[in-house]
């Protein structure tokens, strides 16, 4: 399933990407009209807390998840409850731009990664779109702990 999170749900968009879901984030520069067009064109389920946008999307027969909940864990529980999570997709997307990550050889990022990171890690991933480099550091461990905290998943 592909999602589109409106501007009120940026952190949720990041976490859906961590779980491996293709998630477009509509920041404040994207109008509601454009959100509707993107949702329809790309067959994305819109996730919003905006009453008016939810109403408009329902009229357009756009798949929608509309809630008032502001707590991230509650939001994730509501969304992930009925979904199958592919453990091979977890942490496969760039949390910044949503592109799929690629393995990259350590030598290729020598001048792009912090020196200590380069020295202490062997495996790296790279986003071809925004040039972000990823590795299994302390943030990785924290993300995996959160992912595992959802009873719907066992890795």
pLDDT at 155 over 50: no
What confidence score (pLDDT) does residue 81 get? 84
Q: Could you tell me the pLDDT band of residue 139, with boundaries at 50, 70 and 90? A: confident
Q: How far apart are CA 95 and CA 20, in angstroms?
A: 10
Please name every residue paired with 5 in a beta bridge, in sequence order, or none if there are none.
Answer: 25, 47
Angle value at C-alpha 52, between 22 and 57, nearest 5 degrees? 45
Please, are residues 65 and 75 in contact by the beta-carbon 8 Å criterion?
A: no
What confidence score (pLDDT) does residue 154 get? 43
Q: Which residues of 108-147 are buried (b: 16+ CB within 10 A; e: fewer)?
A: ebeeebeeeebeeeeebbbbeeeebbbbeeeeeeebeeeb
């Amino acid at each position: 399933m592909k999602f589109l999170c409106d501007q009120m749900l940026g952190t949720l968009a990041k976490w859906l990407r961590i779980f491996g879901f293709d998630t477009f984030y509509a920041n404040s520069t994207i109008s509601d009209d454009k959100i509707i067009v993107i949702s329809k064109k790309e067959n994305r389920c819109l996730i919003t807390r905006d009453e008016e946008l939810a109403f408009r999307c329902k009229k357009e027969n756009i798949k929608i998840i509309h809630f008032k909940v502001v707590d991230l864990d509650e939001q994730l529980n509501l969304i992930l409850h009925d979904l199958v999570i592919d453990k091979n997709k977890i942490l496969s997307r760039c949390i910044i731009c949503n592109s799929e990550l690629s393995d990259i050889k350590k030598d290729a990022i020598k001048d792009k990664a912090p020196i200590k990171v380069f020295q202490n890690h062997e495996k790296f991933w790279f986003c071809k779109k925004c040039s972000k480099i990823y590795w299994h550091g302390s943030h990785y461990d924290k993300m995996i702990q959160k992912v595992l905290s959802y009873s719907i998943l066992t890795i």
